[in-house]
Amino acid sequence: MSEPVTLESLPTVLESILFVADKPVEIGLLSRVTGHGADVIGLVVDEIAADWQGRGVRIQRSGTAVQMVTAPESTPYVQAFLGVDEEQRLTHAPLVALTIIAYRQPITRPAIEKILGKSCDYSVAALKARELITEVGRSNGPGRPYLYGTTFRFLEHFGLEKPEDLPPLPELDLAAAVAEIAEDGAEIEAIEVEDEPPEIQVAEDG
């Protein structure tokens, strides 16, 4: 086991680790590797994120994990360089389902369908295929349906550093967006926000 990283060298070491990591890194793992507490790691990660504002790479945080990503404003140029085909974009229905998931997560498919008033099988499948949402656990309700939440890919796609950076819901006019789907003839039920979130059981790693 190597010696604990000095506090002065900690930002450099964390940047190096995040640079070589090919997926989000848990704060706990960074703590074990560097020999510093999770609270210290969190503060230094926040400092790195602040220092990188306006640069070509950014720090994203979700829950207890962090990762290094390219700046969202550079996405079209990075995609062109990599030859990424962006011709197929999400249609309106998956985008509305994604909005519901982002603001009500964790949420089950039946709860999404109750808000939409129609099936969301296609939307959920499309969002999972784009890795914008993932299964984060199971509800304790009848049938124990999967609970869905957003991913790091979602943060990267929309240029967010963390889920808390989402703009206030009224600014997105979710009701109007859902109503637009109703033009296809689907009957839309009123959106009812529960006072308390459903009891959940988070999926265990592995």
How many CA atoms are closer than 13 Å to the CA of 140, on its beta-carbon side? 6
Q: Are residues 17 and 108 in the same domain?
A: no
Q: Are residues 110 and 198 in the same domain?
A: yes
Q: What's the pLDDT score for residue 163?
A: 81
Residue-wise pLDDT tens digits, 134-177: 998 888 888 888 999 998 888 887 878 778 888 876 544 554 54
Asked if pLDDT for residue 77 goes beyond 70, the answer is yes
Burial class (CB in 10 A: 0-12, 13-18, 19+), 16: exposed
Domain boundaries, position 157: 92-202
Q: Are residues 165 and 99 in the same domain?
A: yes
- Residue 106 belongs to a domain: yes
Q: Are residues 151 and 58 in the same domain?
A: no
* Confidence class for position 186, pLDDT limits 50, 70, 90: very low
Whether pTM > 0.85 for this model: the answer is no
- Residue 55 belongs to a domain: yes
Q: Are residues 24 and 56 in the same domain?
A: yes
Among the residue ranges 2-6, 181-185, 187-191, 195-199, the one predicted with the least confidence is: 187-191
- Residue 84 belongs to a domain: no
Q: Are residues 49 and 127 in the same domain?
A: no
Q: What's the pLDDT score for residue 154?
A: 87
**Which residue, 46, 74, 102, sits at the end of a domain?**
74
Structure tokens at 127: 């969002």
**Which residue, 21, 46, 74, sits at the end of a domain?**
74
**121-129 vs 109-116: helix crossing angle, rounded to 10:** 120
Q: What's the pLDDT score for residue 190?
A: 34
- Residue 137 belongs to a domain: yes
More confident residue, 167 or 110: 110
Looking at the structure of the chain, the number of domains it has is 2
* Confidence class for position 36, pLDDT limits 50, 70, 90: very high
| Distance (Å, whole) CA 50 – CA 58 | 9
Q: What's the pLDDT score for residue 160?
A: 81
Q: Are residues 152 and 66 in the same domain?
A: no
Asked if pLDDT for residue 185 goes beyond 60, the answer is no
**DSSP-assigned states of every residue in 7-76:** TTTHHHHHHHHHHH-SS-EEHHHHHHHHT--HHHHHHHHHHHHHHTTTSSEEEEEETTEEEEEE-GGGHH
Residue-wise pLDDT tens digits, 83-102: 666 545 677 888 889 989 99
- Residue 1 belongs to a domain: no
Q: Are residues 111 and 153 in the same domain?
A: yes
Q: What's the pLDDT score for residue 170?
A: 56
- Residue 135 belongs to a domain: yes
Q: Are residues 66 and 100 in the same domain?
A: no
Burial call 68-81: b when 16+ CB within 10 Å, e when fewer: bbebbeebeeeeee
Mean pLDDT of 56-78: 83
Q: Are residues 116 and 142 in the same domain?
A: yes
CB < 8 Å & 24+ apart, contacts of 180-187: 180/92, 180/96, 181/92, 181/93, 181/96, 181/116, 181/118, 182/117, 186/116, 186/117, 186/118, 187/117, 187/118
The enclosing domain of 23 has a CATH number of 1.10.10.10
Q: Are residues 137 and 195 in the same domain?
A: yes
CB atoms within 10 A of CB 164: 8
Length of the chain: 206
- Residue 83 belongs to a domain: no
Q: Are residues 115 and 161 in the same domain?
A: yes
